[in-house]
Amino acid sequence: MTTPFPKDFLWGGAVAANQLEGAYNADGKGLSVQDVMPHGITTPRTEGPTEDNLKLIGIDFYNRYKEDVKLFAEMGFKVFRTSIAWSRIFPKGDELEPNEKGLQFYDDLFDECHKYGIEPLVTISHYETPLHLSKTYDGWVNRKMIEFYERYVTVLFNRFKGKVKYWLTFNEINSILEEPFMSGGIYTPKSELSKQDLYQAIHHELVASALAVKLGHEIMPEAKIGCMVLSMPTYPLTPNPDDVVAAMHAEQRNDIFADIHARGYYPKYINRYFKANNINIKFEDGDEEILKHTVDFISFSYYVSICETGDPEKRKEGKGNLFAGVQNPYLKASEWGWQIDPQGLRVTLNKYWDRYQKPLFIVENGLGAVDELATDEDGNKTVHDDYRIQYLNDHLVQVGEALEDGVEVMGYTSWGCIDLVSASTAEMKKRYGFIYVDRNNDGSGTLERYKKKSFHWYKEVISTNGASLIDNNAKS
């Protein structure tokens, strides 16, 4: 088949430092919020690191990254999305001078990527606020965070200019509404936070993000800097106009984040929501001007779609969704209750393209599943993960449809391209990767790497630039 994917399409995979690096206290690294979240968002945080926190070791990427990058190169990756652990660079977060050993690690990692022609795509802050900033300043509720973040990004941009072309300012910035500690480093318990607190924290992040765009363009004129939002297309549960309006309002509360990043100002539709919820964002002098430094592209994660209804009696919320939503009766769900909707990705791409006319980058998409290690016909250990292949194939077919629709898509990085510790539940058995890592929920395992069936499938997808994808459900 002919392929709609452009020749320069950036195929690759995505990870986050806190979920795979390990080495949580090596070479001067300070603690992050992740070091006190042994079971993700499912249990209360601890006072300090505990042995049951799998992220302390992760998959030992810190010491094995050369082996892993070589495997990514074998698949044909054009791009590798990872994050920088803030507390590797500034162990506490509020120091004046960075930790050289932390910077050197990422220097070496990016050099290894370039050795194979892989372009790094770097998330500056991915759910790993330094724990000191969380405990001492209450994270992004405090405006002083802008100053600490500015210092951090200035160091990164000066150090890695010429090595990193693509940057993302914050991972899933809108997730702070649901998980303020993990996403925004806010130490105050969620139950004690008002909507005013949360939206003021979001404002501080938005100003910091725009400041990063400004600084990035000054320090690295050739670089492209994007935002990253958690996309969640919301359908009305029925054609009842009450449901349509409920879905509209839910979409608006999610759209505000990309709207401000892409347009440079707060949209008027949010004023009504702010007024109804006694939210009054405090702007400092200069904030409006800083927000005008808009992103070069929009990146997003896509896993699920949800429904909304105006009828409280019909609110049957889907489990597993980070953002509460109503279950769609027409969709199947993964083992963790995440509803599977490949066409929702096409809908999202079309919507964002129509709305912003900026290039789009799908930087997270994937299927978390329990994988069983098996043996192939040659006696090699592998995983026969046809379910993952089908999931990714069906979503990528819809990316192709969006490209045919005229949408400009820069690239696609599947989430957890190598097995890692999950963010929501902090377990190993919820696997996303093309590469199996021998580590179990109890911490046992050899950490050896094995290629899954999907490894070879994705290699072919990349080598054919999408021509090997199979449209199992052709629709116009």
For residue 299, count other CB atoms closer than 10 A to its CB.
29
Three-state SS letters, 382-397: ECCCHHHHHHHHHHHH
Q: State the residue for tokens 């990756």.
A: 77
- 460 classed as catalytic: no
C-alpha distances in angstroms, 25 versus 55, 85, 89, 190, 459?
11, 12, 12, 28, 35
Give CA–CA dist 40/190, Å, rounded: 15
* Active-site entry in 21, 128, 172, 364: 364
Nearest by Cα to 286 from 225, 214, 228, 223: 214
> CA 185, CA 380: separation in Å to the nearest integer?
43
Please give the full DSSP string across 392-432, using - where no structure is assigned.
HHHHHHHHHHHHHHT--EEEEEEETSB----TTT--SSSB-
Handedness of CA 183, 255, 152, 141 (dihedral sign): negative
CA distance 299 to 412: 10
State both tokens at 247: 């879905």
| Strand pairing class (297-301; 360-364) | parallel
H-helix or E-strand containing 289?
A: helix 287-291
Q: Which positions are annotated as active-site residues? A: 364
